[in-house]
Chain A
């Protein structure tokens, strides 16, 4: 067994020289969007922002693609429709052929309410679980939490992140660039 501490460290992504990125802090959502757009124009591609509420315009400024959640929801939702119709058909017309009140064993009309409800139920679970999955949640740790004022990102500060895996990334220049677009505090964050 290889117990070389450096190799283990490398494998776990730990180490003194590992950098997650550079974070710049802003006080106002508009400044953040403005700065984000400028940083992107400088050629950075691996960008993120951390904000206490959804800031409109930040997605376009940072080039964050449209959410794919809708596709997940519609597929799962239609599974709900199929489940309901299959269930009602199986129960009424295959497993338990029992004529009640002269009504047909299976019909779309009396299936509408339950089909609708199950479609909504499946879709809602897909929306919530899909949202969490697309966001990589739940997770216990994220390197951005090493930022000294990370807790302010859910309060009143707006953080702009240039991640270290950006091809153009160098801690020194990225920090200078963030300073130049108006960040009040800039910090290189380990990860």
Chain B
């Protein structure tokens, strides 16, 4: 082989330790599959308790949506002039969270970041679940979700006209549904070899049939892998512009309008950076909990978490720059309405939302410049939560403060969420966590075959050098 591995200098072990700590390939299959293979009835009680709590919250979502459909959209606090409120805030919030999964699985793949292999599967799953939660809001915001096919160019007799492709809202329909489909394809393609591992390990007839069908008869032939790697590379290459396009198109919903505070060209890059920021901050607590409760310290190391914190810090700084830039342009444009919109954002009736956003998104993540904080589990857990709060408020600030006072003071208003607004949003959090809990229990949450590839590389590269023991 041409690439002769160069063993790493032992003195650099604390800077660049091996990412995976496992004795051999069999150990890895054993450790990751064991989570999936355990007897369902012997799952720890704490799992069932958590699942029943999140399941209960999901039931609340069902109740709220039923109530909404039965009564009408007026049960939400939306009013004139604030026609978009919590529903679109929540939609953009969830869509944004989804971006981390694709970033980890596609963009980091193209950049050959080997550390992604321990976290990509769970991040991709999180993407799928977040996009599902996101889809609920525009669907029910239409007021008549049973007419949702009107959003797609399906020939029908009851609408009597076609969709308007000049509108960014139809672009959004295409972007979000493509994103959900492609993320699901990407995720499932990654799962096929691992499902084959589970099939080959299965002892019961039922599991053999289920995993056998799900893995399509995968046998790990060298020809399979060649086509598989080509498919994976192509999917990564397609998903990279896709993930950037999705939040760009979401931002077009705002940027192509004439509302002061929305009509800005900075929106696409600013939305994408914010999406990655919030997405990483959402993977973080899930990974910390999974790592601790499933004992995955040898696969999800502090190095992984530290790398993610660095991305949170960088994207948080980009978002902070975008806030500053928006303010500068509002002043520099000389447009009175634009200038008013921004002063009103920071010092108007919604000042508390604005400063929550600034504190959580701009100031707090800067703590990650300090290495000790970047590597402290409690600190990163708290910062990831505050980041999610901050990013939710960002969308709230953009949507509600821009709408509540536009050109005519006679039509100014104020928005207050109703209990239905609050319960619906809480319900989607429940749905998201329920889906994630089910995924973590019933499918391999770490990509077994990919991690084995990294282990093979590291066996060569580190030649039996031991990684320093982590204090965490």
Which of A's residues lie within 8 Å of B, judged by CB?
29-30, 33, 48-59, 62, 64, 66-67, 69-70, 73, 87-88, 91-92, 95-96, 98, 100-101, 103, 110-111, 113-114, 116-118, 120-121, 123-125, 127-128, 130-132, 134-135, 137-142, 144-145, 150-156
Contact = CB atoms under 8 A, between A and B. Distances in A.
Given A54-B229, A113-B245, A142 B238 contact: no
B230 A51 contact: no
Contacts of B186: 124
Nearest to B256: A110
Interface residues of B, number: 66
A48 B217 CA distance: 16
Interface of B is mostly: helix
Contacts, number: 195
Given A91-B153, A91-B165, A156-B24, A51 B227 contact: no
Contacts of B188: 128
A66 B252 CA distance: 40
B223 interface: yes
A41 B236 CA distance: 36
A124 B216 contact: no
22 contacts: A48-B223, A49-B221, A51-B225, A52-B29, A53-B450, A53-B456, A67-B230, A91-B165, A96-B162, A117-B175, A118-B178, A123-B234, A124-B181, A127-B235, A131-B230, A131-B231, A135-B221, A144-B219, A144-B221, A152-B200, A154-B197, A155-B29
B150 interface: no
Nearest to B182: A124
A70 B227 CA distance: 9
Specify which of B26, B219, B239 lies most central, judged by the most chain A CB atoms within 10 Å of its CB: B219
Closest 7 CB pairs of A and B: A151-B200, A131-B231, A156-B25, A138-B216, A67-B230, A113-B171, A49-B222
Given A96-B162, A137-B218, 4 more contacts: A50-B220, A92-B164, A113-B249, A151-B200
Given A48-B222, A53-B449, A117-B245, A127 B238 contact: yes
A92 B222 contact: no
A168 B65 CA distance: 68
B173 to A, nearest CB: 9
Given A98-B161, A120-B242, A155-B25, A114 B171 contact: yes
B416 interface: no
Nearest to A87: B153
Nearest to B460: A30
B364 to A, nearest CB: 34
A121 B231 contact: no
Given A113-B171, A114-B165, A130-B231, A66 B226 contact: yes
B153 A53 contact: no
A153 B29 CA distance: 12
B99 to A, nearest CB: 15
A57 B231 contact: no
Contact of A114 (B162, B170, B197, B450): B170
B38 interface: no
A145 B220 CA distance: 11
Contacts of A66: 226
A54 B453 contact: yes
A134 B227 CA distance: 7
B189 interface: yes
Contacts of A113: 168, 171, 174-175, 245, 249, 252
A135 B460 CA distance: 30
B6 to A, nearest CB: 15
B390 interface: no
B166 A100 contact: yes
Given A53-B453, A100-B164, A127 B200 contact: no
B231 A127 contact: yes
A117 B453 CA distance: 32
B226 A67 contact: yes
Specify which of B3, B161, B218, B226 lies most central, judged by the most chain A CB atoms within 10 Å of its CB: B226
B333 to A, nearest CB: 23
Given A52-B220, A154-B193, A29 B456 contact: yes
Contacts of A130: 227, 231
Interface in B106-142: none
Interface in B169-185: 170-171, 174-175, 178, 181-182, 185
Given A124-B181, A128-B189, A131-B231, A140 B449 contact: no
B454 to A, nearest CB: 9
Interface string B203-241: 000000000110011111111111111110011001101
B335 interface: no
A62 B201 contact: no
B133 to A, nearest CB: 21
A153 B219 contact: yes
Contacts of A33: 1
